[in-house]
Amino acid sequence: MLNKLSRYIIIGLIVIVAALYLPDFFSMLFDKKVNKPRLDYSAVIDEFVIARAAKMKKTEYRDINGNTYSEREFFKLLPFTYYASLEKWQELMPELKGFKLTPRNIRKNSQFFSIKTKYIDPPSVPLYMMFEAEPKYAQLSIPDDVFRLNTKIEFIDPVSNSVIDEKSTRFQKAMLDAGFIFPADVIASNPTNRKPFDEGFFISDAQGYVFQLKMIKDEAVCVKTDIDPNLNIRQIFVKENLRKEFYGWILTQNNEVYLITYDKYELVQLPSTCSEEQYNYNADEMSYRFFTYPINKHIQIHGDGFIKMMVLDNDFQPIAEHLETWIPYAERPASLVKQFIFPFELFTYMPSKYVKLQIEFFWWQGLIGIGVSLLALVLFSRKRPWFDYVIVLFTGVFGLIGVLLIKPED
Amino acid sequence: MEHIIECKNLTHYYGDKLVLNNLNLQVEKGRIFGILGKNGMGKTTTINILMGFLRPTSGQCLVFGEESHKLSPLTRQNIGLLHEGHLAYDFMTIKQVEKFYSQFFPNWKPDYYWNLIGKLGLADNHKIRNMSCGQRSQVVLGLIFAQDPELLILDDYSMGLDPGYRALFIDYLQEHVREKNKTVFLTSHIIQDVEKVVDDTIIMGYQKLLLKMPLATLKKSFHRFEFRNQRAISAIHVDDENVTNVEYVNDKITLYSFKSLKDIKVYLKTLGIPADDITEIPMSLEEAFIGLTGKY
Amino acid sequence: MLKALLYKEWIKLRWAVIAIAVLTVLSLAYSIGMINYYIEFQGALRNWMFVISKSLLLRNIIFVKVLPLITGLAFALLQFVPEMARNRMRLSYHLPISEKKLLLSSVGIGFMFLLAEIVFLFFGLWLVISLSYPVEIIQKILISTIPWFLGGSAIYFLTSFIILESSWFYRIVYGIIAYGLIELNFRASVYDQYQLLWILVLIVAVMPLTVLFSGHRFRRGTK
């Protein structure tokens, strides 16, 4: 009995390894890379334009009305994107819709961010660094301590690896005075000193209220914002920018995206849904990109097989939208064939930064592979323990490999 | 009579190759049973089955009434095995190996072991790995004696031993098992040693049992005859009744048979082969063995 | 009887057990030196930031990744190569103890020694990093080492299983499988990256049973 169990454990291990490597190997051999198009919106012709890698490494440039362009013409349609090259070629037009086009002016009035799945609650050590927001020197300097923040705030001195009581008490008091209710929930900052200034931390408390915590002249400054505590915040991102249009942005559990604007922390919701539901932003699978340019704002939602792009004016009112699609991975020939051969696959890849052993079933297609595997076993290898058939019935070609390699003894 | 070992219709194939064909044998309690045969005749296969390391294709091999490939631990306690090449845990020392084995056998008799080892004159912490084959054979034998099993199965015990150790081994074995009425099953390719100890023998031939009798009987009843006759070459054939084996060298014909000289003369006459000069040439046991199994 | 088996495995493993323990102590001592050097060189805070944001420590404690692998491999080789050389396993299979009990005990004993080394390493590491780092970092580091320990256990069980098998064809098949199963435990590059770690634990937990099939095939004489 145990010997039989032992054999099936070995077969089980073979199934695991086969399901982990073979489908991957199959894709690697047969799947052709699909080049994602670059989608953009030309403020010059007020139309969406596309750059797509064509054959022989050449790129094809066109707009969505079918007009094609040379590379240089295409660049000229997108001065906010290609101003540096245009400047070099001396082809940057002096003015567009009343906005003076100089590289410096464009840079000063542009900002970009993206929300990728791997940015959301990544594996991290819950220790934080508070910068002095009004530093003595021109640049922000790295502080001398780090802090932990959950049921209370505690600064730790790395040299002695011990809590700095006095500073901790001061910050604790400032937070309590501002109405902060511990423990802290979402904690966000931009932990680098390579930024023009520091906006400290945005922290949501036990009741969902969002606070801003900064250190000014070594003193804690804690401000309770008016951000709706029922927003169901998933992640806050902070990014200091000299434009001072927004402190950062919020992603909610419902895949909504908000900008936290200066100075009153008012929220501006960015569009993340559209008429076709399958292209609605889903933070677990797609990435969200926001571009603010001198005369409009772009939003792109990138998913497997599509880019959904929306253009807003400077008051966040929609101007235009466009959907560009291509064949998603699951519908490509290699992937389709794969689903017929293998009943399921195991993988550890996550769009987030974690490693997790997961299984994906290829339902009805998989059944065909299972049927063929069973038939092969019946035709070519008779006289087997009944459980061998059960194994193949559930694991298809993986189990077939297992039971054929590891012959029954008895 | 109680059968300690009983093999019934033992048949074994390696793939398509038949190596054992319907072997039947019994070993009675208190007997020393030898199995002889040239290499490749299934000697090793038989002993592997008997030791429980090979499951026969068909047939049965019972040891103490249990199938040899699934002996219970308790039965195994009562069987001492000497593996080909005097296998031992050679990473252990003389002392460690005794300590190890002693814990498995309730009837462990350390004196048997230490008496035998004492004669080697080696230190207790001498590693088995650093011993000569002969010394190792004494350790292995000592362990089997100390285990004090009812049945000893010895696979090619003489392999790699020089004559001195071979004699020593046989002496100890003989003394030990006779005195205590143990049963022994052994294989060997050195027939003189076997001659001294075994009660019953089987000689294995290609896919069949050649002979099953005590060696003394074989020595008495198996004969070699020689005569010269150019014409008779290839007229005499091996049959199981009269001619067991025949060899030709030029015009010299050598016949092996269980028949007497008189019977053979009659037999040759019926074949019409004149053999007036036929004489019996006495044989040693080894010559008899070779005569029986063939030189090739 | 278990005592006797323990005695036998101990005779085979003792030098390795001691050598690995010494190696562990040396590695830990070296890592204290390394950490202190980095703290000195980078400054305490900067070093903490590298440790936090760049997973610096994971790269500096490679020995925690490697030692369980070496230990698992060495123990399996030392325990079972002498047994399988010249079919010596026959001696063990003839002992008056059931073959399953024998195999599981032998593997269990070896694993016990491996586990002892792992526990020693784990607590040693804990001690070393708690000298210089706060609880948050300690916690993340220690969690990150669990898959490595699983990898060490997997290599032990699977190597034993491969050695105890007597056919080379099977050994090669098993070797490929073993590679895949061990690799599965080494896919993280930053702290605490594994989710559903218990599935990996479960996979390793069934591995000891694989040796039974090898033993069974040996007893049957299947080549």
The pLDDT of residue B296 is 63
Query: What are the angstrom distances between the C-alpha of C72 and each of A403, B277, C159, C183?
Result: 28, 77, 8, 14
For the packed helices C99-130 and C135-164, what is the interaxial angle rounded to 10 degrees? 160
Residues 6+ apart with CB under 8 A from C73: C155, C156, C159
pLDDT tens readout for residues A251-283? 999 999 999 999 899 999 999 988 788 899 999
Confidence class for position B270, pLDDT limits 50, 70, 90: confident
Task: Answer whether B139's CB lies under 8 Å from B131's CB.
Answer: yes
Task: Find the residue in C nearest to B74 (Cα).
Answer: C96
Beta bridge partners of A345: A360
pLDDT at B295 over 70: no
Facing A17 at nearest CB: one of C46, C181, C191 = C181
User: Predicted ipTM?
Assistant: 0.95
What stretches in chain C show pLDDT beneath 70? 222-223
Shortest Cα–Cα distance, C68 to chain A (Å): 21
Mean pLDDT in residue range A175-180: 96
Task: Answer whether B23's CB lies under 8 Å from B61's CB.
Answer: no
| Residues in chain A within 8 Å Cβ distance of C176 | 17
What percent of chain B clears pLDDT 70, i.e. is strictly above it? Answer: 96
Instruction: Name the one residue in this structure whose structure tokens are 């060899």.
Output: B247
DSSP A95-162: EETTEE--HHHHHHT-EEEEE-GGGSS-S--S-B-PPBSS-SSSS----S-EEEESSSEEEEETTTTE
How far is Cα A209 from Cα A202, in angstroms, rounded to an integer? 10
Q: Following CA atoms A281, A287, A292, A297 in sequence, which dihedral angle do they give, to the nearest 10 degrees?
A: -30
Task: Find the residue in C nearest to A163 (Cα).
Answer: C134
Average pLDDT, chain A: 92
pLDDT tens readout for residues C174-211? 999 999 999 999 998 888 889 899 999 999 999 999 99
3-state class percentages of chain B: helix first, strand second, coil last, to nearest 5: 35, 30, 35
Contact call for C140 and A125, based on CB within 8 A: yes
The pLDDT of residue B1 is 56
| Residues in chain C within 8 Å Cβ distance of A7 | 213
pLDDT at A410 over 80: no
Nearest to A3 by CA among B71, C216, C50, B123: C216
Contact call for C221 and B100, based on CB within 8 A: no
Tell me whether A118 touches chain C (CB under 8 Å). no
Facing B73 at nearest CB: one of C82, C88, C98 = C98
Which chains are adjacent to chain C, needing at least 3 Cβ pairs under 8 Å?
Answer: A, B
**Cα B140 from chain centroid (whole Å):** 18
Confidence class for position B262, pLDDT limits 50, 70, 90: confident
Shortest Cα–Cα distance, A152 to chain C (Å): 14
| Residues in chain C within 8 Å Cβ distance of A126 | 136
Residues 6+ apart with CB under 8 A from C161: C174, C178, C207, C210, C211, C213, C214
Instruction: Name the one residue in this structure whose structure tokens are 């073959």.
Output: C99
Contact call for B104 and C97, based on CB within 8 A: yes
The pLDDT of residue B232 is 67
Residues 6+ apart with CB under 8 A from C36: C132
Which chains are adjacent to chain B, needing at least 3 Cβ pairs under 8 Å?
Answer: C
pLDDT at A149 over 80: yes
Task: Answer whether B182's CB lies under 8 Å from B33's CB.
Answer: no
Task: Find the residue in A nearest to C137 (Cα).
Answer: A125
The pLDDT of residue A156 is 96
Shortest Cα–Cα distance, C77 to chain B (Å): 14
Query: What are the angstrom distances between the C-alpha of C59 and each of A374, C141, C142, C191?
Result: 47, 11, 14, 11
The pLDDT of residue B196 is 78
How far is Cα C184 from Cα C182, in angstroms, rounded to an integer? 5
Contact call for C180 and A17, based on CB within 8 A: yes
Hey, is A19 helix, strand or coil?
A: helix
Confidence class for position B233, pLDDT limits 50, 70, 90: low
Nearest to B48 by CA among B78, B76, B81: B81
The pLDDT of residue B198 is 85
